[in-house]
Homo-oligomer: A and B are copies of this chain.
């Protein structure tokens, strides 16, 4: 454990990267990328039994090495999201859940109103709830008020790779949130992840930007380094921006002057 752990619901994590497990070219690349990313917490979905391919044994491969964070992806009603969370708890023996409640199937944008109600109920049922929300400081406050263990505002649309569309709003949420802020969705490249940490986020959730890059294992290493870099820079306290120049070398004693 490093000296600057991420604390969520009393659990300490050395890594501030939460990794998805979907959209990889194949299972081995996924495992190598998770390894390279240094993540300690990986997300999974809950789906009806079917005859699909490799995913059957996915849990066996990751459950030993990583804490699992099941999600309720795709749910559009509080009822389905809550049932999915309860099935996840039974299937994976964890009361942690990444709560997703979608208000628009095209945009995969959260339905903040239902989200707060579902989060409230899941907290009462004993879940550790990490809700995927938007960059709305009032919604984030409500989610913290009902007992969520963290908030997960989007940087931009899921899978878009557009980075952090509204840095000012994310920074505002970070300065005010009583619970950890995990930037979720939209990360496209390493500097996006570093920026998230510099804005004050406690962690970053990444799936597509790693899984769909040309070299997921290398990109996973890039994201790991970027999140460390952004965190260190945040702690180090950056220089202020100023509109004019300031010399770095000494001004006096110039040759020939």
Q: Which residues of A contact B (CB under 8 A)?
A: 20, 22-23, 45-50, 52, 55, 71, 73-75, 77, 79-80, 83-84, 87, 103-104, 106-113, 116, 134-139, 141-142, 156-163, 165-166, 168-169, 172, 188-195, 198, 207-209, 211-216, 218-219, 221-226, 228-233, 235-257
Task: Tell me the minimal C-beta distance from A222 to chain B in angstroms.
Answer: 4
> Does B254 contact A236, Cβ atoms closer than 8 Å?
no
**Chain B residue at smallest Cβ distance from A231:** B222
Contact of A246 among B73, B160, B216 (CB under 8 A): B160
Among A83, A111, A207, A229, the most chain B Cβ lie within 10 Å of the Cβ of A229
B contact residues around A134 at 8 Å (CB): 134, 136
* Given A48-B255, A136-B112, A218-B235, A74-B247 contact (CB < 8 Å): yes
* Given A113-B142, A225-B229, A214-B236 contact (CB < 8 Å): yes
> Does B190 contact A245, Cβ atoms closer than 8 Å?
no
* Given A116-B113, A232-B219, A242-B161, A80-B194 contact (CB < 8 Å): no
> Does A159 contact B245, Cβ atoms closer than 8 Å?
yes
Task: Tell me the minimal C-beta distance from A142 to chain B in angstroms.
Answer: 7
> Does B112 contact A189, Cβ atoms closer than 8 Å?
no
Contact of A229 among B165, B229, B247 (CB under 8 A): B229
A242 to B246, CA, bound (A): 25
**Chain B residue at smallest Cβ distance from A102:** B138
A208 to B246, CA, bound (A): 9
Told that A48-B254, A194-B229, A219-B238 touch, could you supply 20 new A-B pairs with CB distance under 8 A? A49-B253, A52-B252, A74-B254, A107-B138, A107-B244, A112-B136, A113-B139, A156-B168, A157-B243, A159-B242, A161-B239, A161-B241, A188-B239, A190-B229, A190-B230, A208-B239, A209-B239, A214-B236, A222-B228, A225-B232
Q: Which 8 A-B pairs have the closest CB atoms?
A: A214-B237, A159-B246, A103-B138, A47-B253, A222-B232, A226-B229, A225-B229, A73-B249
**Chain B residue at smallest Cβ distance from A219:** B236
